Chain A
Amino acid sequence: MKAFAQFLAPRLALAAVALALSGCISIKTHSSFEPIYMTLDVNLKVQLQQELSDVFGDIDAASSSLSF
């Protein structure tokens, strides 16, 4: 019985400490990347409009249903 207590007690104490510590750990998930994604989106949109303007420029210029 005594040997069992000597064997188990330190391990139980260690497990309790580990559990207590893990309960105290907080992970912040707040992301600071949003502005980067927004910038990327704006850049892509500008790039797309530029490319569309290059490709459809002649076509739009010839069209009477599009005004400039």
Chain B
Amino acid sequence: MNSLKSIRWTLPFLAALFALVLSPQLAQAQNDENAIKQRILQRVSAVDSLKIEGLVGENNKGLLEQRAMLSPPQTKTMNEENADRKALYAILAKRLGLSVTVVGQGRAESIRKKSASGVWIQEPSGKWIKK
């Protein structure tokens, strides 16, 4: 009887503790993900220009890679885009229980399939081709 009573009090306590400890973390992770996605969205046209001009390409790790001489602002755009992509891949990797590398490679595969013609893409073998 006593044990039933203690379970009645313990379970809600554990649930509350779980909510208190994990909810902010989950909410923070979701906020981080949304913030990263927003930054990537704001940068889409700048990154598109770099890709269409052939200055950067999509490598086989899901990241941008320099293919020609870049100005400092263009280098900054590429680096910021890569930093955000890496952060997003890390969030996805944690969620799916995979490595960041595998997530990046999965994204690279998706980009390779969808890329418009004229964009530099790196094949899984490492060879660069213009699609």
Contacts and interface: CB of A to CB of B under 8 A. Distances in A.
Q: Is the interface of B mostly helix, strand, loop or mixed?
A: helix
A1 interface: no
Contacts of B107: 52, 56
Interface residues of A, number: 20
Given A45-B106, A48-B103, A56-B110, A66 B116 contact: yes
Contacts of B117: 67
A59 interface: yes
B128 to A, nearest CB: 16
Interface residues of B, number: 27
Contact of B95 (A51, A62, A68): A51
Given A49-B110, A56-B110, A63-B48, A44 B98 contact: yes
Given A56-B107, A65-B116, 7 more contacts: A48-B92, A49-B106, A52-B110, A55-B37, A63-B44, A66-B116, A67-B117
21 contacts: A45-B106, A48-B102, A52-B92, A52-B103, A52-B106, A55-B33, A55-B88, A56-B107, A58-B37, A58-B41, A59-B40, A59-B41, A60-B114, A62-B44, A65-B48, A65-B51, A65-B119, A66-B111, A66-B115, A66-B116, A67-B115
